[in-house]
Structure 1
Amino acid sequence: MLLTVSGPPGSGKSTTAAALAEAFDLEHISGGDIFRELAAEHDMSAVEFNKLAEEDDQIDRDLDRRLRDIALERDDVLLESRLAGWLAGDAADLRFWLDAPVDVRAERIADREDKDADIAREETVTREESEALRYEEYYDIDITDLSIYDVALNTARWGPEEVTSICTAVVDSYDPAADEGKYPVEGVRYDF
């Protein structure tokens, strides 16, 4: 099984992805973790590394290619990243998009990173704008197009346990044999 969990920073995707991976005994691959590791290797914050990625497109392309290869080469994987649904393409069994209003997400990030919520909001908006421009430029992907996702949830409406429970119910009710070839996502073919 290949599941993807995507969404903007602070949407709850890491928490949900970890819980789903555990519930279904899937290997959890986090694009955010990989990105933060790369930033740390360059002795930069994620925001600083994001700025560098604006100047050096190879950073994004290498990360995206690595995640896509994992999605296509491994079995029983949960791929978590902003582009996970796009990267996995038709290979994904189910694609989840998690989101919440920016103020809610900024509060979550501020709590997690022990920083002021206004600073977290400003950094989050800047990061999202930067990434959206790069996705459009590199791959002609409009990150606001949610049509490829099987489920889109506003995580401000439910707590982490409830979001996980909703997603788990979706996976439990999914029958890949019944779905075979019925609902391909048109045009999701990118050269990462």
Structure 2
Amino acid sequence: MPKGCLVITVSGPGGSGTTTLCRNLARYYGFKHIYAGLIFRQMAKEMGMTLQEFQKYVELHPEIDREVDKRQVEAAKECNVVIEGRLAGWMVRDADLKIWLDAPMMERAKRVARREGISVEEAYVQTAEREKQNRKRYLNLYGIDIEDRSIYDLIINTAKWGPDGVFAIVKAAIDHLSPTVTRGNKN
């Protein structure tokens, strides 16, 4: 990989702050942002399904997961990219920095409720069900236990720091890893 070229993965459950962090990294460093969740949501919309319906559909059609994951691996061949996805750290094995974001379930449910315009109770149930389905799917499809955090270089509880604090922690890690990657450097 060329000097000053980084591939960063950001993973975590719904409502943990992965999208916020990735957008901030992309904006600050000029990194390209690849978002597996957006691809997944667009596919659900194209099929006229809710996210929950599509999740169940995908359980019976593993080729969809494989396609989304393949796109992440392809994106990792680029320079200065941040790849966001539940399995990004697992799929992009040689990433320079693998980050896992998390927060207590109730905090994440509150964030999802605000984002989706639903009640906290509904968000809690949907999030818990989605995580259960994802864990089962990833185990069946790849033999990956999404609860295994051993592959991550940096694990952050986003309930302890707001978006700016999380960004500051990750920025310090990036700057330590590669001082030649500077703000807006797209080399």
Q: Does TM, normalized by the shorter one, top 0.5? A: yes
CA distance in 2, matches of 1:66, 1:176: 28
Aligned residues: 175
Specify the alignment match of 1:74 in structure 2. Answer: 78
Q: Secondary structure at the match of 1:115?
A: coil
Q: Percent identity?
A: 45
Instruction: Give the CA deviation at 1:21.
Output: 1.6
* Off by >6 Å, runs of 4+ in structure 1: none
Instruction: Report the aligned-residue RMSD.
Output: 1.3
CA distance in 2, matches of 1:130, 1:68: 23
Q: Secondary structure at the match of 2:93?
A: helix
Normalised to the residue count of structure 1, the TM-score between the two structures is: 0.88
How far does the alpha carbon of each residue in 1:37-61 deviate from its partner, in whole angstroms, 9 at most, with x for none?
A: 1111111121111111111111111
Q: Would you say 1:157 and 2:160 are equivalent positions?
A: yes
Instruction: Give the CA deviation at 1:81.
Output: 0.4
1:84-95 → structure 2 map (5 Å cutoff): 84-90=88-94, 92-95=95-98
Match of 1:116 among 115, 119, 126: 119
CA distance in 2, matches of 1:69, 1:132: 23
Unmatched runs of 5 consecutive residues or more in structure 2: 1-5, 181-187
CA distance in 1, matches of 2:72, 2:104: 27
Q: 2:84 is aligned with what amino acid? A: E
Q: Secondary structure at the match of 2:144?
A: coil
1:56-71 → structure 2 map (5 Å cutoff): 56-71=61-76
1:94-133 → structure 2 map (5 Å cutoff): 94-133=97-136
Query: Given that residues 96 and 149 in structure 1 are in contact (C-alpha distance below 8 angstroms), is that contact kept between their aligned partners in structure 2?
Result: yes
Q: Secondary structure at the match of 1:89?
A: coil
How far does the alpha carbon of each residue in 1:13-41 deviate from its partner, in whole angstroms, 9 at most, with x for none?
A: 00001101222211000001111111111
Q: Which has the higher contact order (CA 8 A, sep 6+)?
A: 2
Instruction: Give the CA deviation at 1:132.
Output: 0.5
Q: 2:7 is aligned with what amino acid? A: L
Query: Given that residues 93 and 176 in structure 1 are in contact (C-alpha distance below 8 angstroms), is that contact kept between their aligned partners in structure 2?
Result: no
Q: Would you say 1:17 and 2:22 are equivalent positions?
A: yes
CA distance in 1, matches of 2:148, 2:86: 12
